[in-house]
């Protein structure tokens, strides 16, 4: 029997640096996610482990490490718009000293530990790091002509389906295991989105997160398709 050996194209310096970025960023975000969950249990609030952003850190971290655009997109679909809202609120208070939407007031409690700040500041750095990772993965896959192989596994254009399933599961779990006063993932109320629609809040919640997940997925895939043609 003849043993076959698949030829692997040697890695150039630029690709090597991209790989280093992907591995180190993936590990970093995954560790921040673990720290976030640890701190939740340590402060006696294990329900906080259900936060979208904490779960997103773990899945995005793993997705970047294993160079899987699909799983990165599933989380960006959910997180992008809420994190932009969080960032606006944070920077407004940081530079003006005034409260805008009262979403980030806790960040200005100077008795917080540096670990807590590291976790909370992921609202700012997780999206840029993830988008850069997607760009690098895309370049690597294209340079090695692995696009078809990647597409057969899990198509990035359907990442919104995973996002909607995750949203539904987290909504149910958060309703069952958390208190209304904690308002984890805004499942009980959110003034910013509650004023948009007149019907019961849970319908508003699903409409809001469903629309932003599908729209974000659509727009990011348009951008990736343009990279394919360039």
Scan for tokens 């906080």, then name that residue. Answer: 48
Confidence class for position 49, pLDDT limits 50, 70, 90? very high
Distance of CA 127 to the CA centre of its chain: 7
On whether the CB atoms of residues 18 and 136 are closer than 8 A, the answer is yes
Query: Tokens 């997160």 correspond to what residue?
Result: 209
* Domain membership flag for residue 35: yes
- Can you give the pLDDT at residue 218? 95
Q: What tens digit of pLDDT does each residue of 147-181 get?
A: 455 444 458 889 999 999 999 999 999 999 999 88
Q: Tell me how many domains the chain contains.
A: 1
Report yes or no on 147 lying in a domain: yes
- pLDDT tens digits, one per residue of 73-102: 999 999 999 999 999 999 999 999 999 988
Residue 160 and residue 102: Cα distance in Å, rounded?
29
Domain assignment of residue 220, given as a range: 13-229
Specify if 3 maps to a domain.
Answer: no
- Tokens found for residue 77: 């679909």
Tell me the per-residue pLDDT of 15-27, one tens digit each, with 9 for 90 and over.
Answer: 889 999 999 999 9
Assigned token pair, 124: 């700012």
Q: Is residue 7 part of a domain?
A: no
More confident residue, 151 or 209: 209
Would you say residue 8 lies in a domain?
no
Residues of the chain with pLDDT > 90, as a percent, come to 65
Which pLDDT score is estimated for 22?
97
Would residue 98 count as lying in a domain?
yes
Residue scoring higher pLDDT (30 or 223): 30
């Amino acid at each position: 029997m003849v043993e076959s050996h698949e030829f692997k194209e040697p890695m150039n310096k630029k690709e090597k640096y991209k790989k280093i970025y992907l591995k180190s960023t993936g590990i970093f975000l995954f560790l921040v996610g673990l720290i976030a969950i640890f701190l939740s249990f340590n402060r006696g609030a294990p329900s906080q482990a259900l936060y979208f952003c904490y779960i997103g850190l773990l899945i995005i971290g793993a997705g970047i490490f294993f160079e899987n655009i699909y799983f990165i997109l599933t989380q960006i679909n959910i997180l992008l718009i809420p994190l932009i809202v969080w960032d606006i609120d944070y920077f407004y208070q940081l530079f003006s000293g005034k409260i805008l939407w009262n979403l980030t007031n806790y960040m200005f409690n100077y008795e917080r530990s540096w670990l807590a700040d590291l976790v909370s500041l992921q609202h700012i750095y997780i999206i840029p790091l993830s988008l850069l990772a997607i760009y690098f993965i895309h370049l690597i896959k294209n340079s090695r002509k692995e696009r078809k192989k990647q597409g057969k596994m899990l198509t990035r254009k359907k990442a919104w389906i995973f996002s909607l399933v995750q949203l539904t599961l987290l909504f149910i779990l958060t309703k069952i295991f958390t208190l209304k006063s904690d308002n984890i993932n805004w499942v009980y109320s959110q003034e910013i989105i509650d004023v948009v629609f007149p019907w019961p809040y849970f319908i508003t919640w699903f409409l809001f997160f469903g629309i932003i997940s599908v729209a974000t997925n659509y727009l990011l895939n348009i951008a990736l398709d343009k990279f394919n043609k360039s």
